[in-house]
């Protein structure tokens, strides 16, 4: 059966988009990519903070149940957001991810600093939205603190970036599930409940809910996250080179 000219045009366009996606490139415009980062990060923080508030309200003081609800909701949202927005912006939602990928030479649809700006603005908007949905004061400085949490953030961010860097090479189709699974696990085995994200850290300093931290600890969290991300950027190629040498 012969295809019509219109069908051939659609097929060629689809092939080009698929090829761009396989090469790690985005067919989206800079404005679309930045909008995706803004909306995606806002949605992520609304889920993180909103599920933390809801978990506290419904758990009857049982922190384990509240944490389970918070972790499950966050992991589910990550899976959805990455699956839908990755073809548009890469679905970073995280300055550490953006910086790590730029360090590895990956091109972005827009300037990296605009990505980071949209992520920070989106994260703050997401927290405010969560507070508004639960009729709470919009600005609520957090109170949770501790040096052990900084170490936890380094570990959580290292694991997240290693998951992304190895997964994008070895299991690209599984990235949404891999990232969601790592974050769900890290909620439970790290003292900080795994922010692993400078934009999330800034935003969660604005909430006194189950998900919040003390504003004075933001710098410690972010430094630990960037160190963890840098270690992952350094180690990932070593692991991939060793794997390639065995073939």
Integer Cα distance of 209 and 191 in angstroms: 16
pTM passes above 0.95:
no
Higher-confidence position of 58 and 8: 58
Confidence of residue 24 (pLDDT cuts 50, 70, 90): very low
Q: Indicate if the pLDDT at residue 93 is higher than 70.
A: yes
pLDDT tens per residue, range 26-66: 568 999 999 999 999 999 999 999 999 999 899 988 989 99
The CATH number given to 27-245 is 1.20.1080.10
> What token pair was written down for 40?
């995606």
Query: What's residue 68's pLDDT?
Result: 96
- Say if CB 221 and CB 153 are below 8 A apart: yes
Tell me the torsion sign for CA atoms 100, 146, 155, 50.
negative
Residues in the chain: 247
């Amino acid at each position: 059966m012969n295809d019509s000219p219109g069908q051939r045009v659609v097929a060629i366009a689809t092939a080009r988009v698929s090829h761009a996606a396989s090469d790690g490139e985005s067919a989206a415009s800079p404005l679309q990519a930045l909008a995706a980062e803004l909306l995606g990060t806002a949605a992520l923080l609304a889920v993180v903070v909103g599920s933390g508030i809801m978990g506290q309200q419904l758990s009857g003081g049982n922190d384990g149940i509240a944490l389970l609800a918070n972790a499950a909701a966050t992991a589910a949202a990550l899976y959805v957001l990455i699956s839908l927005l990755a073809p548009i912006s890469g679905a970073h939602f995280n300055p550490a991810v953006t910086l790590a990928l730029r360090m590895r030479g990956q091109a972005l649809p827009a300037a990296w600093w605009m990505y980071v700006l949209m992520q920070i603005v989106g994260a703050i908007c997401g927290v405010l939205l969560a507070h508004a949905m639960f009729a709470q004061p919009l600005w609520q400085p957090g109170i949770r603190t501790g040096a052990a949490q900084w170490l936890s953030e380094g570990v959580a961010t290292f694991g997240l970036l290693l998951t992304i860097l190895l997964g994008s090479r070895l299991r690209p189709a599984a990235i949404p599930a891999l990232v969601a699974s790592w974050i769900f696990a890290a909620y439970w085995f790290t003292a900080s409940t795994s922010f692993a994200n400078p934009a999330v850290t800034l935003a969660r300093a604005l909430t006194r809910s189950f998900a919040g931290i003390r504003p004075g600890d933001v710098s410690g969290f972010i430094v630990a996250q960037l160190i963890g991300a840098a270690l992952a950027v350094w180690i990932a190629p070593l692991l991939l080179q060793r794997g390639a040498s065995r073939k």
